[in-house]
């Protein structure tokens, strides 16, 4: 597979990494049965990824977590980013108490690691997806598979998330919606 550079943007800012990571796939996102961005969704392209997420009631938990992890400024930056955004329902699937524990100041580094695992450097639109292994901003990898027009991501812990909507454009990247929280190793 073609190697492409990936900058561990969020991790760099936390001082956890000082160099670029590499991706072992040509793309990081997926095509789904959901329609591409509509005119209304395309209007979000003037807002950065954090602003787009904050304006969507399905992402309130994600925005709270991004704030608790101190990643808001980073993900509002230049990018470009591809963000696999878990919905509120996805966060609700976590074991009881997990989110409350992760959003405590003592868990900030762990939460940042989980959230940056959902971010890939570059803007990858659904039409550009290729099945394979993807390196995340966190430095770990997940696997993208496509079957019958559906896209599934398998995380480092063996959990799966389905891409339920794609190509929500932002001024600094693109958001793809997923139905589960991905977990790094």
Q: What is the pLDDT of residues 42-75, one digit of tens each?
A: 556 789 999 999 999 999 999 999 999 999 999 9
Instruction: Please give the residue that has the higher pLDDT: either 39 or 145.
Output: 145
All structural domains of the chain, each given as residue ranges with its CATH number in brackets, are 4-178 (2.30.180.10)
**Rg from Cα positions in the chain:** 15
Cα separation, 124 vs 173, in Å, equals 8
**Phi/psi at 73 (nearest 5 deg)?**
-65, -40
The beta strand positions in 12-113, using DSSP E, are 21-23, 81-86
Find all residues with CB under 8 Å of 81, minimum gap 6, and list them.
9, 49, 75, 119, 120, 121, 122, 123, 137, 170, 172, 173, 174
Asked if 163 and 176 count as a contact pair (C-beta separation under 8 A), the reply is yes
| pTM to 2 decimal places | 0.78
Residue 4 has pLDDT above 90, yes or no: no
- Which band of pLDDT confidence, cut at 50, 70 and 90, is reported for residue 3? very low
């Amino acid at each position: 597979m073609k190697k492409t550079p990936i900058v561990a943007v969020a991790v760099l800012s936390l001082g956890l990494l000082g160099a670029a990571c590499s991706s072992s796939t040509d793309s990081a996102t997926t095509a789904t049965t959901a329609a591409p961005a509509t005119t209304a969704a395309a209007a979000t392209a003037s807002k950065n990824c954090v602003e787009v997420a904050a304006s969507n009631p399905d992402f309130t938990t994600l925005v709270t977590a991004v704030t608790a992890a101190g990643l808001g400024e980073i993900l509002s930056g230049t990018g470009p980013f591809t963000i696999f955004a878990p919905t509120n329902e996805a966060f609700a699937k976590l074991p009881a108490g997990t989110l409350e524990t992760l959003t405590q100041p003592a868990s900030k580094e762990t939460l940042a690691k989980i959230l940056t695992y959902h971010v890939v450097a570059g803007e990858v639109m659904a039409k550009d997806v290729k099945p394979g292994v993807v390196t995340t901003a966190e430095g770990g990898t997940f696997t993208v598979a496509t079957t019958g027009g559906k896209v599934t991501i398998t995380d480092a812990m063996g959990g799966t998330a389905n891409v339920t909507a794609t190509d929500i454009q932002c001024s600094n990247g693109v958001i793809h919606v997923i139905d589960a929280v991905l977990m790094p190793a």
